[in-house]
Amino acid sequence: MGGKFLFDGQPVPFEDGQTILQAARAAGHYIPHLCWHPDFPPHGSCKLCIVKVGGRHVSSCALPARDGMEVESDTPEINGERRALLQMLFVEGNHFCPSCEKSGNCQLQALAYELDMSSARFAHFYPDRPVDASHPDVLLDFNRCIFCELCVRASRDVDHKGVFALTDRGIRKHLVVNAESGRLADTDFAVGDRAADICPVGVILRKRVGFAVPIGERKYDEASISTVAMEKGE
């Protein structure tokens, strides 16, 4: 079966079961995303992959493609919404790119460049999120968490450890470590875990190597996130 839909006016083929995002990527069209990862099922929480289908705004990572759909993605309206979502993510945490060791490798920062975000626009929350440096090999800097739950899913579904979880709701939502003490050192988390290198931002960090690769020579310094995503499949 399968079929075709129009993506920004271009015909895109799809197979049964493919989402809009998967089919568009397979046809060479980039859709911004943060919580979606090619190795994991759709999550639909960040909403950066929002597209317009038949007048409705939908998550392209979660909506199955259908024959004859007309999908709008790279338009001023949709990119404006994505930019606003990014701005809200920036003010919700403490994102200080100039001294962040993830700078140049961070998907949040790279998307902000991609979508021409030039200011935070909203008032910063400045939340108090103490770091967890208890683990000998890995630092957790919760200041930068965007609640994509990739670490939660990787630790639960791939590592089968369930080290991470989101707790509380709404404005109080935050990432926690599943241990009586709340400390990473008191879990069986290991630096070789899938969850250790899944974070799209700068929360889960290998200790002591943060600036080993010079800023300016990093993944998204060399090419835009859309280019990296489409050429390297990341």
Q: Would you say 192 or 216 has its CB closer to another protein?
A: 216
Q: Would you say 84 or 133 has its CB closer to another protein?
A: 133
Answer yes or no whether residue 44 interacts with another protein by CB under 8 A. Answer: no
Answer yes or no whether residue 212 interacts with another protein by CB under 8 A. Answer: yes
Strand, helix or coil for residue 84: helix
Residue of 27, 58, 158, 215 interacting with another protein (CB under 8 A) = 215
Closest CA to 226 of 107, 137, 130: 107
Spatial CB neighbours of 1, under 8 Å, sequence gap ≥ 6: 15, 16
Shortest Å distance, C-beta 220 to another protein: 15
The interface mask with another protein, positions 139-178, x = CB under 8 A, is x---------------------------------------
Closest CA to 234 of 77, 222, 158: 222
The interface mask with another protein, positions 107-146, x = CB under 8 A, is -----------------------xx-xx----x-------
Task: Please state, in angstroms and rounded to a whole number, the distance separating the CA atoms of residues 192 and 117.
Answer: 34
Residue of 121, 211, 222, 227 interacting with another protein (CB under 8 A) = 211
Shortest Å distance, C-beta 3 to another protein: 49
Report 190-209 residues binding another protein (CB under 8 A).
Answer: 205, 207-209
| CA 146 to each of CA 55, 64, 72, 87, 223: distance values in angstroms, whole numbers, following the listed order | 28, 25, 25, 12, 23
Shortest Å distance, C-beta 98 to another protein: 6
Single-letter residue type at 34: L
Q: At what angle do helices 107-114 and 76-92 cross, to 10 degrees?
A: 140
Single-letter residue type at 121: R
Q: Would you say 69 or 205 has its CB closer to another protein?
A: 205
Residue of 44, 147, 210, 226 interacting with another protein (CB under 8 A) = 210
Q: Would you say 166 or 213 has its CB closer to another protein?
A: 213
Residue 209, judged by CB atoms within 10 A of its CB (0-12, 13-18, 19+), counts as exposed
Q: Considering CB under 8 A, how many residues would be counted as binding another protein? A: 20
Task: Please state, in angstroms and rounded to a whole number, the distance separating the CA atoms of residues 86 and 24.
Answer: 22
Handedness of CA 90, 93, 98, 104 (dihedral sign): negative
Contacts with another protein, residue ranges (CB under 8 A): 98-99, 101, 130-131, 133-134, 139, 205, 207-217
